[in-house]
Each structure stands twice: as C-alpha cells, then as structure tokens.
Amino acid sequence: MKVFSDPWVGHPKLNRLGMHRKRVKAAQAVSRFRRAQSVHGFNSDEQHLLDQGFVAIENFLPDAEFAALRDECHASVEAAKAAKPLPEKPEVWGFGDSDRYDWGFDRFDGSTLNRFIKPGPHAAAFPRNRRFKRLARIVTGKAMSPRRNWIYQTANGDESDIPDQQREFHRDTFFNAMKYWFFIDPVREEDGPFVYVPGSHKLTPERLAWEERKADAAVEARIQQNRRGMTGSFRIEEDEFAALGLPQPQTYPVPENTLVVANVFGFHRRGDAVPGTDRLSLYGNHRPQPFIPFGS
C-alpha cells in the first residue's frame, strides 16, 4: 500500500518512528537483490536505464514486425472509435472513474482522455519480447505480466479548462516500479511527450530526507482529513530539483517504433500539449510487490 489514507501507512506513531524511511530503504534493497538474481551483464541501453532511470530505444522492432503491429493497432483504434466516439470533456475534476466497454475503457485525468483498448495478437505478444523482458527485470527484478498490456490512446484536452494532474512532476510510489510506452506513431513536442528527471530514481540521502518530509506532510493531511494530501504519489515542484542534486528535466519527443521505459520511482510527468492532439502507444504498468525477495 502507498496511500496515507490507509490506517497503517498513515499511522502517526509508526511514521514518527521512521516507518516510511525504513520501507523505502527496504524496498530498494529487495529490488537490487532481485535484479542480481535475474539479470547479469548490461548492454548500453540497459546501462542507461540503470544509471538514469529512463531509456528510449528507437527502431525497437524489425520493420516488418512493426508494420504488422502498427496496422493492427490503428484498426483497433478505429473499431473502438466506431463503437464509442471519443468523449470531448470530463464530467468531474481530477482523476475520473473508468467507463468500461467490450473493447476496453475510457478514463479522464483532468482534461486528458486515456483510452485503453484490448490488444490484438501482435500487441499481446509484445511483452514477451526477450529484450523487453530484460528491461523490466532491470527496473524491478521481476518479469512483467503480459496481461498488464494495452493499446493506449492519449487525447489531450484544454488545460486552461480542467488541469491534468499527470502534468505535475511526481513519483508513482515508494519503490522501484516500471511503466513503458511503445510508440506506434511519432510523438511531437505538441503531442505531450514524456518528461523525466535523469537520475531521480536513485535513493540519495537528499532524496530519502525529501521522502520523509513528504510522508510527514501526508500523515498530517490524514489527521486533518485532507484527502488530496494523503496520496502516495508524491508531487514535487521543479525548483526543488537543485536542492536534491538533480539536473533539469528532459522532454522526449520520439519517432514511431520507439520503446520508452522508465523507473517511475523517479520524477516524471506527462508533457505539455496542444489541445486536440493525441499519442498512440502500447502501454504497461509493472508494479510488483516490493518486499518479495525472489526474482523471476
């Protein structure tokens, strides 16, 4: 559990005794132990992921394999659109509920529509790619389940109307976890490319102290019944990076057939976008239980 609304995670006395600090340190140690069991020797892309917390690998699939996957994904997007046109505006502020259909589901993050479409045969096979499986193990020490894989269309809305909280810098949870995007179409600056702070996945003394301060604030929010403040996805302002010894964030527009893998214990956000633009990718969220010591 990561949210401080949980009675144990947000327990005031346990956190005064350093529970959050100890959980973060223990989770990092378990992740390193699992990685050592499952991955040995790193190529340049893998080393970049290990060192920087992020990697973008262009031309990931052979041309013919990618063309078949691209055609399948475009056909799936058109079929979903024919069944249910893209909704134009969210009905509520913040993270919306999922509207589920036979082909998948829609969910709004503020003004941004996330359309998740069930994968066809080519898309479903992607997580079994050997190179991809190694990258997942480098981040978490465990293989990613192929079931956590979607065709993912991101439709950008009007930020001046309803802000998208995913465009705030944050880390997802208190342990190493992975998200990936395999881009079917090119991502331009105006499409809202991924933004990451290189090296921000490392548990330095400065980062650990920041984690503890944020946990203290989340416990206080629980005491005050401020639900927004109880989130376990801690937010950070851009002007805080220097004090943590971190560089400036980098934005990653990419061509088609590019795999982006990120350790989302590091700071990241969805990039700024022009309303009406969109992105299309395969997407997966790999968040294994942090305290199981055995890799796979």
Q: DSSP secondary structure string, 159-200?
A: TTTS--GGGS-B-SSSS--EEEEEESS-B-TTB--EEE-TTT
In angstroms, the CA 166 to CA 180 distance is: 15
55-61 CB contacts, 8 Å cutoff, 24+ apart: 55/135, 55/260, 55/261, 56/252, 56/254, 56/258, 56/259, 56/260, 57/258, 57/259, 57/261, 58/254, 58/255, 58/257, 58/258, 59/257, 59/258, 60/131, 60/182, 60/257, 60/258, 60/259, 61/129, 61/257
What average pLDDT does range 111-138 have in this prediction?
A: 96
Give pLDDT tens digits for 65-123: 999 999 999 999 999 999 999 987 776 666 778 999 999 999 999 899 999 999 999 99
CATH class of the structural domain 12-286: mainly beta
Q: Are strands 268-270 and 194-196 parallel, antiparallel or unpaired?
A: antiparallel
The pLDDT value given to residue 76? 98
What mean pLDDT do residues 27-52 have? 96
Edge to edge, the sheet with strand 54-58 lists: 54-58, 258-263, 178-183, 278-286, 149-155, 112-117, 104-109, 99-101
Least Cα distance to 236 among 175, 170, 166, 163 occurs for: 170
Q: What is the dihedral of CA 283, 2, 170, 285, to 10 degrees?
A: -10
What values do phi and psi take at 16, rounded to 5? -65, -30
18, containing H or E segment: none
Exposure class string for 265-293: b at 16+ Cβ within 10 A, else e: bbbbbbbebeeeebbbbbbbebbbebeee
Listed in sequence order, the residues at least 6 apart from 226 whose beta carbon sits closer than 8 Å to its beta carbon are: none
How many residues are there in the chain? 296
What's the angle, vertex CA 11, arms to CA 266 and CA 170, rounded to 5? Answer: 20
- Which contiguous run of DSSP H or E holds residue 69? helix 63-83
Task: Note the pLDDT tens digit of each residue in 254-270.
Answer: 999 999 999 999 999 99
Q: What does the domain layout of the chain look like in residue ranges?
A: 12-286
Q: Is the pTM of this model over 0.75?
A: yes
DSSP state, residue 54? E
- How confident is the model at residue 91, as a pLDDT? 65
Res. 192: pLDDT tops 70: yes
pLDDT category at 234 given cuts 50, 70, 90 is very high
